Amino acid sequence: MDKLNSLKEIITSRRATRQFRKDPIDVELLNELLDIAHWAPSGYNLQPTHFLVVTDEKLKQALYPICM
């Protein structure tokens, strides 16, 4: 039941983020998050997802309109 409660808490507490902090993410944390995301399920369990980490501020600004 603990796992079910943990999942319920994760699902019900999620929210859309409209603004992010400017300070960089620790590389170890970033790598752990990417590893977790790699295991997320997808259609037919193919996991065709690719991740791109962008740290350059000019490039982030150029990508912003495309992502919207």
What pLDDT does residue 49 have?
Answer: 84
What pLDDT does residue 56 have?
Answer: 92
Nearest to 49 by CA among 57, 59, 39: 39
In the numeric block, which tokens belong to residue 54? 């962008």
Cα–Cα distance for residue pair 33/19, rounded to 1 Å: 19
Contacts of 49 (CB under 8 A, 6+ apart): 37, 38, 40, 42
Place 64 in a pLDDT band, splitting at 50, 70 and 90: confident
In the numeric block, which tokens belong to residue 34? 């990417």
Q: What is the pTM of this model?
A: 0.62
The per-residue pLDDT for range 11-62, each reduced to its tens digit, is 899 888 888 888 889 999 999 999 998 888 888 888 788 899 998 999 999 9
What pLDDT does residue 30 have?
Answer: 95
